[in-house]
């Protein structure tokens, strides 16, 4: 197996992970009977985005690199905000107990 083939597989896996986030979002929304963006959506976005970013760097595609890098920043920020909100809620509930 040559290096290009391995990177092609990595790119396809990254795209699969990235696409899976929409399936997760759709299934959760159907279950809830309303539009929902679950935390798993952001984790899949981050994992897929990082994998695709690595693939873009290997391919030396500046458009792809910038697009994935900005996405990784946004997904990370959303996960940070979710974590901070959960910690705040936990702190408030333990303070009121």
The whole-angstrom separation of Cα 39 and Cα 31 is: 15
pLDDT digits (tens, 9 = 90+) for 43-59: 999 999 999 999 999 99
Q: What is the count of structural domains for the chain?
A: 1
pLDDT of residue 93: 80
pLDDT above 70 covers a percentage of the chain that reads: 99
pLDDT of residue 94: 79
Helix (H/G/I), strand (E/B), else coil: 55: helix
Q: Is the pLDDT of residue 69 over 70?
A: yes
Q: Whole-prediction pTM value?
A: 0.87
Contact predicate 48/33, CB 8 Å: no
- Structural domain range at position 14: 3-96
Helix (H/G/I), strand (E/B), else coil: 60: coil
């Amino acid at each position: 197996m040559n290096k290009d083939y391995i990177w092609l597989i990595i790119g396809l896996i990254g795209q699969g992970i990235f696409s899976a986030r929409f399936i997760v979002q759709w299934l959760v929304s159907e279950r809830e009977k309303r539009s929902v963006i679950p935390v798993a959506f952001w984790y899949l976005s981050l994992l897929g985005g990082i994998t695709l970013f690595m693939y873009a760097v290997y391919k030396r595609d500046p458009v792809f690199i910038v697009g994935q890098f900005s996405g990784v920043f946004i997904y990370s920020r959303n996960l940070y905000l979710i974590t901070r909100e959960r910690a705040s809620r936990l702190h408030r509930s333990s303070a009121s107990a």
